[in-house]
Amino acid sequence: MPANRYDAIIIGGGHNGLVTAAYLARAGRKVLVLERRHLLGGAAVSEQVFPGFTFSVFSYVVSLLRPEIIRDLDLPRHGLHILPLESTITPLPNGDYLAGWGDPDLTRREIARHSQKDADATIEFGRLMHHMAMAVRPILGMIPPDPTSLAPSDLAGLLKLGGHFRSLGPDRFHAMYKLMTMSSADYLDEWFEFDPLKATKSASGIIGTFLGPRSPGSAYVLLHHYMGEIDGAFRAWGFAKGGTGSISNAIGNAARAFGAVIRTEAPVAKVSVRAGRATGVVLESGEEIQASIVVSGLDPRRTFLDLVDGKDLPTELVDDVRRFKFRGSSGKVNLALSELPDFTCMPGRGPQHLGAFSISPSVDYLERAYDDAKHGEFSRRPYMDMIIPSMIDPGMAPPGRHVMSIFVQYAPYRLNGGWTDAKREAFGDAVVDTLSQYAPNLKGAILHRQVLTPPDIERMTGLSEGNIFQGELALQQLFFLRPSAAWSKYRTPIGGYYQCGAGTHPGGGIMGASGRLAALQILADL
């Protein structure tokens, strides 16, 4: 076999592409990963944006990484080290706060300060969400069956699914139906009364989507984020030592250990297609590399509209992909700090700094933040989820200094009048101004500031419209419709050309499930 010929080429060294590469290499295939940038990870990268200060530039926590991937690839041996991240503090405008601690009983005591009923409800709500997540979990590990197909494998999959849902029993099935159709605010209204609690919980229903907490469908995203909670002792939830780039590097190291070759600064221009079959890739440098399997880890728009010619694809698919909704809605602000933020609601240095802060004082607050975005503006008073990685892993910043990671919503990709440098800075100011209301010393502590809007995310990572999930996690874009009916099984109409990114089922978060299922499908097809 000549040196520049491989069994499989993976386009894009994001975490899913690396997972696919590792599984294919583990099965004995000769695998090449081609990454456009100088480092691996796509949206899961750690970079010294300012000297001495390391940031998880985009994606910043890990909750959904599939335990079977951690085990199969022995990621801890390759450098994965997940550190605990237990608490969430929601500072309130009246100077009080709502805290969720690592100890559930302590958390209930805290909630009872605000609402005794809510404190009690957390027990039953937790159980229900556990059951819901358990119900959905098998789907995450399943290649989606086509409900309109009579092929034996599809029927078997549907049968399994049908049996699975029947086994839920009527109560849980109805709860599941509600979760799939309701807004997170309405869903939580059925359980809780304390507004900041509902807002903080509903926030995970809007992350990465162009939905507000009152938009139908947002409850499912809530469930999606619950999924990391049910792995029992496995507890894959937390902060990765060294930032999220270390997760990508661990997967990359595992892939290399299995024999995969990984090339960085090797952008792919085109997939070579001959007689309806992929035959390799052409790099932007003009270099041609041959392989019988080509796998795209990029999002559906790039996979189908950029890397291959539309003429090689059915018109319906091209049309579907054009309609696939990206609509990036989140931004990121990374701060290098000379000292810790001192929160008025919980002054001084303490355990609060080891966890997350959520700026979600009320459901109205979140909905208003969404209203701004709906009308083409970034949120004047945005929702924010913030952590201080240097408190968890001191190696992220020089001794005594800190890094702060702020996930911000909403920042619409399509801003009225378009994004400019001035608007980016205005967006950064809105974030810092809002946070400063809760931690007045913040402004004076900022040494450096990096503000990332959806167009910045698109430019740096390649994610279309800056959508962090490679396409919204909306019901019409999930399971057998992700990214398109008939092409949800990681295959494409071009023989030997596959997809493995988060734009396929189940998608979203540093989960790796898409990459693993794609590899399993490819190996089954070979």
Partner 1 sequence: MLKTTPFHQRTAPLIMGQTWRRWAGFAAASCYDWLPDREYAAVRNAAAVFDVSPLYKYLVTGRDAARLLDRMVTRNVLDAKVGQVLYTTWCDGHGKVIDDGTISRLDETRFRLTAAEPNFRWLHLNGHGLAVEIAEVSERLGALAIQGPLSRAVLNAAAANPVDALRYFRVMPNRIAGVDVEISRTGYTGDLGYEVWVPAERAVAVWDRLMAVGADYGITPAGIWALDIARIEAGLVMLDVDYHSSHRAIIEDQKSSPFELSLDWSVSREKGPYNGRRALAAERARGARWRFVGIEVEWEALKSLYAAVGLSPSLPTVAWRTSVPIYRDSVQVGYASSGCWSPLLKKYLALAHIRAPHFEPDTRIEMEVTVEHRRLKAAGWVRKLPFFDPERKKA
Please give the residue ranges that form the binding site for partner 1 (CB under 8 A). Answer: 67, 70-71, 75-77, 81-84, 86, 102-103, 106, 134, 230-236, 241, 354, 391, 393-395, 399-400
**Shortest Å distance, C-beta 57 to partner 1:** 21
H or E segment to which residue 451 belongs: strand 446-452
Q: How far is the CB of 246 from partner 1 (least distance, A)?
A: 12
Pick between residue 86 and residue 377 the one whose CB is nearest to partner 1: 86
Complex with partner 1: residue 263 or 349, whichever CB lies closer: 349
Question: Going by C-beta distance under 8 Å and a sequence separation of 6 or more, which residues neighbour residue 79?
Answer: 242, 246, 249, 250, 253
- Shortest spacing between CB 67 and partner 1, in angstroms: 7
Q: Which is nearer to partner 1, 88 or 215 (CB)?
A: 88
| 364 and 357 Cβ atoms separated by less than 8 Å | no
What is d(CA 124, CA 35) in angstroms, rounded to the nearest whole number? 46
Instruction: Determine the Cα–Cα distance for residues 473 and 206; give it in Å rounded to an integer.
Output: 10
What number of CA atoms fall less than 13 Å from residue 274's CA on the CB side?
A: 7
Closest approach of Cβ 166 to partner 1, in Å?
15
Q: Which is nearer to partner 1, 203 or 391 (CB)?
A: 391
Query: Is the Cβ of residue 71 or residue 113 nearer to partner 1 in the bound state?
Result: 71
CB of 6 to partner 1, least distance (A): 31
How far apart are the C-alpha atoms of 329 and 310, rounded to whole Å?
28
Asked if 46 and 243 touch (Cβ cutoff 8 Å), the reply is yes
Residue owning tokens 């809530």: 222
Decide whether 1 or 233 has the Cβ nearer to partner 1.
Answer: 233
Closest approach of partner 1 to the CB of residue 63, in Å = 14
C-alpha distances (whole Å) from 139 to each of 158, 213, 277, 383 are: 11, 25, 30, 30
Q: Side chain identity at 25, as an amino acid letter? A: A
Yes or no: say if 496 and 525 are a contact pair by the CB < 8 Å rule.
no
Cβ burial of 124 (10 Å; 0-12, 13-18, 19+) is exposed
Nearer to partner 1, 231 or 465 (CB): 231
* Beta carbon of residue 141, minimum distance to partner 1 (angstroms, whole number): 12
